[in-house]
Amino acid sequence: MTTLIINIQQLINVRAETHLLQGAGLAELPSIEHAFLLVEDGMIADYGNMYELELKVPQLPKQVIDAAGQFILPCWCDSHTHIVFAKSREEEFIDKVKGVSYAEIAAKGGGILNSARKLNEASEDELFNSAWKRLEELARLGTGAIEIKSGYGLTVEGELKMLRVIKKLKEKSPLSIKATFLGAHSFPAVFKEDHTGYINSIINDMLPVIGNEKLADYIDVFCETGFFSPEEMELICTAGAAYGLKPKLHINQLNSIGGLQKAIELNAISADHLETMTDEDVKAIASSSTIGTLLPTAAFFLRMQYQPARRLIDAGTAIALASDFNPGSSPSGNMNFVVALSCIQMKMLPEEAINAATINGAFAMELQHELGSISVGKKANLIFTKPIPSLAYLPYAFGSNLVDKVLIGEKFY
């Protein structure tokens, strides 16, 4: 089917060439005012200024959408989420309101282990249905591509169950989905005193099945004091590499323990979180090919320091923004809020935040040739805003829902 969108107030992030944006490059957001966009079978076929329309599209198709006053952006590419989980954890939220820390909650058997207990009791269908509802809500908020992690199973059956749910989501949803194996999210209670035993189970029991059934695209480890050390992360990532799984890693959320340097050595696609960064850490990631994925809603929800976005950008880092949607530290996957928070609290310019949440997010999932910008031949996954006075209005008016509709794979949300 062919759809022509006309009178677009501004068409945002229009790129003839796709490249990862680093440092100062993040502030350049190419756009066309008073534009048209031609979509053929869910793909971007052409675009331009309205005065070129007659020349470029001599015969108007049956379906024409008038987008007067509206901005159109490529969909959000959310490159870090944990949206497959059995139950929300608002009881821990109340504890946090009363002043109990994230680390204290985890030490009491709450946190990730709490979610793991609930996940192991849930059926594959229950997990699929609840994750599907979350995906549909995220699509209405403008997310068109998403990475989803396992990591709430922490048993062979539980981890495989999560990855099979993600595989089914991939098959059924029009969103582009990437799966990440995060068996190394925490040590389960039975292996509390036997780290080697659990790591062996990841390597010998989980990874071969994941590899054979092609259940994951990436491998992740929560590298943190009290969780997995940089050396343990290296062991696990090296074993994953034998199955073609590239690392995307949880790094420097609470402590700087050498995980970032190890992640770079392992050629990680991305190092995610980065709340706690020394000057050496900033220098190391800026001069590497690893993307720094910032998750400001996790810092917001846990009342932690925000990621040092300005230091990272000024040093020349390629950064992406993601939601970290999970029941413990970021119970929201609203990328509009992620973008707003990045501008308000991390002092990112609206252009930088939008680039980090679109094209660089696509790079952080290796989807840059399919998504992330308005480019001929890419998927027409599009956000139509409500009429707004300027692009900066999006993060500025942070509480309003400014998404009018979303197009994903020929389906309107």
Beta carbon of residue 62, minimum distance to ligand NIG (angstroms, whole number): 46
* Near ligand NIG by CB under 6 A: residue from 72, 112, 263, 335: 112
Q: Residue 297 corresponds to which tokens in the numbers above?
A: 């809603």
**Residue 22 interacting entry, from Fe ion, ligand NIG, none, C-beta within 5 to 8 Å by type:** none
Q: Is 36 left (phi over 0), alpha (psi -120 to 50) or beta?
A: beta
Query: Per-residue DSSP letters for 386-407?
Result: PS-S-TTHHHHTTTS--EEEEE
Closest separation between CB of residue 207 and ligand NIG, Å?
Answer: 20
CB-wise, 188 or 328, nearer to ligand NIG?
328
Angle in degrees, 0-180, between the axes of helices 350-357 and 335-346, rounded to the nearest 10: 140
Query: For residues 285-314, which are near Fe ion according to CB under 5 A?
Result: none
Crossing angle between the packed helical segments 124-140 and 156-172, to the nearest 10 degrees: 40
Nearer to ligand NIG, 12 or 112 (CB): 112
- 201 binding partner (options Fe ion, ligand NIG, none; Cβ < 5 to 8 Å by kind): none
Nearest to 30 by CA among 5, 46, 12, 42: 12
Residue range at the interface with Fe ion (CB under 5 A); choices 31-39, 55-63, 169-177, 316-324: 316-324
Q: Which residue is nearest to ligand NIG (CB)?
A: 328
* Residue 206 C-beta: closest distance to ligand NIG, Å: 18
Out of 158, 188, 240, 327, the only residue in the binding site for ligand NIG (CB under 6 A) is 327
CB 78 within 8 A of CB 143: yes
The stretch among 9-17, 32-40, 321-329, 358-366 that binds ligand NIG (CB under 6 A) is 321-329
- Residues 317 and 32: their CA atoms lie apart, in Å, by 27
CB of 46 to Fe ion, least distance (A): 38
Please report how close the Cβ of residue 361 comes to Fe ion at its closest, in angstroms: 14
Decide: is 324 part of the binding site for Fe ion (CB under 5 A): yes
The closest alpha carbon to 215, from 145, 152, 168, belongs to 168
Contact 122, 157 (CB under 8 A): no
Number of residues that bind Fe ion (CB under 5 A): 1
Asked if 326 interacts with ligand NIG (CB under 6 A), we say yes
Secondary structure of residue 43 in the 3-state scheme = strand
78 near Fe ion (CB under 5 A):
no
Find the part of the chain contacting ligand NIG (CB under 6 A) among 28-36, 124-132, 319-327, 388-396: 319-327
CA distance 50 to 37: 9
Q: According to CB under 6 A, which one of 220, 232, 275, 324 is a site residue for ligand NIG?
A: 324
Closest residue to Fe ion in the complex (CB): 324
d(C-alpha 349, C-alpha 132), whole Å: 33
Q: How many residues bind ligand NIG (CB under 6 A)?
A: 12
Residue 69 backbone dihedrals phi, psi, to 5 degrees: 80, -10
Which of 62-70, 109-117, 285-293, 388-396 is the region at the interface with ligand NIG (rule: CB under 6 A)? Answer: 109-117
Residue 222 in contact with residue 199, Cβ under 8 Å?
no
Which residue in the set 81, 150, 329, 385 belongs to the binding site for ligand NIG (CB under 6 A)? 329
- Token readout for 125 is 């269908």
Among 408, 314, 319, 307, CA closest to 363: 319
Binding of residue 222 to ligand NIG (CB under 6 A):
yes
Helices 156-172 and 112-121 sit at what angle, rounded to 10 degrees?
A: 80
Give the binding site for Fe ion (CB under 5 A). 324
Give the binding site for ligand NIG (CB under 6 A). 111-112, 115, 222, 250, 253, 298, 324, 326-329
